[in-house]
Amino acid sequence: MQSEQRGASQAFIESVVAALEDATDEPIPPGLYLVSTPIGNLTDISLRALAVLYAADVVYCEDTRHSRKILQRYGIRKSLQTYHDHSDENLRGKIISQLEKSHSVALISDAGTPLISDPGFKLVREVQNSGYEVKCIPGATSVVAALTISGLPTDRFYFEGFLPTKNSERQKRLEALTELRTSLIFFEAPSRLVRTLEALRNVLGDRDCAVVREITKKFEEVLRGSLSDLESRCEEQKIRGELVIVVAGAEAKVPETEEIRTWLRQAMQTQSLRDAAKEVSRAHNLPRNKVYELGLQLKQEEEEI
């Protein structure tokens, strides 16, 4: 049995090596490559990402000390250069000139997909405006990873990222999100977690929530509960590590009967009862049978007058 496993393992390794050899057999075309890197576990990187980092003429990153670990893990010897969105225009001009010389330029963030709450937007826009190719090498992102293991609805979501640190600005942002009927996703630092959970509860109400920490790492953990429950638990436990907060969206408001009757009266001025009921039910996501019954009542009341 063990010999069979060793044989299967060797065959698998050989197939991976063959795939990498195929990917690195020819130089990659000139352009800017947005390369996704692991968010924790260094094995969460695609073969294509490795091939691009290996073949790129230059690699830009946020922190050379952090990014060098990824390259060293896979034996990629590459000179790393630092890029931030607050870097001056001269650096972006330097990158444009490298593209003019038909160089391939890779951009990576400290973890995950570049530009998602990370530097890169200004550079991408300038590269595209200069007429050069921008390609995405997809991979890990803590936004989707946290959502999928949160236990909250995944069909629709809104990514807010980091909330403002000032109370007034944070309050304003959260008030703009109160009516969204989608799961809400936030990034947060451990030192501000309890304060943010409190702000979420005060503005959004005591909704279901998940605090996901250290995704893909050894101490990965998902804390689930109401915002008030997690607020007290996180205050006691002193949560550490990289954090993503996922909060349930707003519940659908059930219109008052009189409000539905008003909509029906307006629709029935120009349409038959059947068409008016269909329009109102579709526009406000209401059961058509209930709307039609209210329409019959309205019609009967008008006839009795």
pLDDT of residue 224: 98
Rounded Cα–Cα distance for residues 45 and 105 (Å): 18
- Name the token pair of 292: 């039609």
DSSP string of 20-49, one letter each residue:
HHHHTSSPPPSEEEEE-B-SS-TT---HHH
pLDDT of residue 218: 93
The answer to whether residue 138 scores a pLDDT higher than 90 is yes
Which is more confidently placed, 20 or 207?
Answer: 207
pLDDT of residue 305: 63
- Name the token pair of 301: 């009341």
pLDDT of residue 221: 96
pLDDT band at 59 (very low <50, low <70, confident <90, very high): very high
Residues with Cβ < 8 Å from 190, sequence gap 6 or more? 238, 239, 240, 241, 243
What are 162-180's pLDDT values in tens digits?
999 999 999 999 999 999 9
The answer to whether residue 217 scores a pLDDT higher than 90 is yes
Rounded Cα–Cα distance for residues 194 and 217 (Å): 22
- Pairing type for strands 183-188 and 221-226 reads unpaired
pLDDT of residue 246: 98
pLDDT of residue 106: 98
Segment (H or E) for 290: helix 288-304
Mean pLDDT of 270-282: 89
Number of other CB atoms surrounding residue 181 within 10 Å: 14
153 φ, ψ (degrees, to nearest 5): -55, 135
Residue 72 half-sphere exposure, CB side, CA atoms within 13 Å?
7
Segment (H or E) for 15: helix 2-23
pLDDT of residue 238: 86
pLDDT of residue 2: 66
Query: In this prediction, what percent of the chain has a pLDDT beyond 70?
Result: 98
Mean pLDDT of 118-142: 95
What are 227-264's pLDDT values in tens digits?
999 999 999 988 999 999 999 999 877 678 888 889 98
- Name the token pair of 80: 């790393």
Mean pLDDT of 96-119: 94
Mean pLDDT of 10-36: 91
The answer to whether residue 20 scores a pLDDT higher than 90 is no
pLDDT of residue 91: 93
C-alpha dihedral, 247 to 250 to 251 to 257, nearest 10°: 170
pLDDT band at 1 (very low <50, low <70, confident <90, very high): low
* Out of 2-11, 143-152, 156-165, 289-298, least confident range: 2-11
- Cα distances (angstroms) measured from residue 36 to each of 10, 61, 114, 118, 178: 27, 11, 6, 12, 32
pLDDT of residue 112: 94
pLDDT band at 18 (very low <50, low <70, confident <90, very high): very high
Average pLDDT, the chain: 92
pLDDT of residue 132: 97
